[in-house]
Amino acid sequence: MATIALGRHPTAVARPTTDRTLLHAFLARDRLYAAYAICDLEEREFARTRWGAAYEGDELIAVGLEYTGPTPQPLFVMGRADGIGAVLRDVIRPRAAYIAAQAGMLPAIESYYRVDPGPQMVRMWVDRARFRPYPATVQRLLPVEIGELNKLYQLGFGSWLPSSAIADGVYYGLRVNGRLVAAAGTHVVSPRARLAVVGNVLTHVDHRGRGFATAVTGAVTGELLRTCDQVVLNVRADNPPAINAYRRLGYAEHTRFEERLIHRLGSPWPDLTAPLRRLFTRKETHGR
């Protein structure tokens, strides 16, 4: 979606909203870019979100989504730059957040936030017509295997997942000599929108370069495409091997965007979140 330079439309007015029909209609203008946000309109996720909507007169021109929880949390914006600025000025005002935004939106964000450096991200997508399965021996993971999964993720992500992540999503793993060495799963799924986001893809450092990540990602994708029309994922633009691995499964690039840690101007959070910045630079399809 094209953006317009901040300040050319001083009449933008922002206010909170919980109107999911309105939000879905706006987000559907770029369904693949807005995939996370569309999935967050599902009942279970919607209760964990805050939304702002910006208007010029009666026309909805921008939306912002903050996933609630301990700061920093994910923040997504879409629409006209002046509307995004109004949302960040008046409605959604976290001290720090991980923002997903297209490059043309950064000037509006920088009016209210210091934006840390970060890698450009690629949003990739696939549907049933494009998907090419990857033959490999993988297994669907069960909630009782969450300990093994977290042990693997601790090596690369430094994070922790509850067993409900497996119960409510789709996770596949690959084992070597009985040991879990690669896994992939889901971030969010929208049965209503028939859309899903793949994430949490990791292979143990001792087993990389063997196609294991492609295998588990392919298994998760194939399972999701049984009920979804499109599946998306994120990958760093500076990781050609991963991009090519996903292309082998039929994924194609949809858009490039910025995924950055931001700090409200005047906030002390830049110093407090320094360790998180180091972790954030390692994230691929792990983060929301």
Give the model's pLDDT for residue 75. Answer: 97
pLDDT tens-digit readout, 248-274: 999 999 999 999 999 999 866 555 555
Q: pLDDT-derived band of residue 283, with 50, 70 and 90 as boundaries?
A: very low
Is the pLDDT reported for residue 174 higher than 60?
A: yes
pLDDT tens-digit readout, 77-87: 999 999 999 99
The rounded distance, in Å, linking the Cα atoms of 144 and 171 is 12
Alpha helices in 136-239 (DSSP H): 146-156, 163-168, 212-224
Q: pLDDT-derived band of residue 71, with 50, 70 and 90 as boundaries?
A: confident
The rounded distance, in Å, linking the Cα atoms of 37 and 152 is 28
Alpha helices in 12-136 (DSSP H): 20-27, 35-39, 43-46, 81-90, 106-110
Give the model's pLDDT for residue 69. Answer: 86
Assessment of whether the complete model's pTM goes beyond 0.85: yes
pLDDT tens-digit readout, 8-31: 546 899 999 999 999 999 999 999
What structural domains does the chain harbor? 13-115 (3.40.630.30), 125-255 (3.40.630.30)
Average of per-residue pLDDT values in the chain: 90
Give the model's pLDDT for residue 11. Answer: 84
Residues making up the chain, counted from first to last: 288
Q: Is the separation of the CB atoms in 14 and 91 below 8 Å?
A: yes
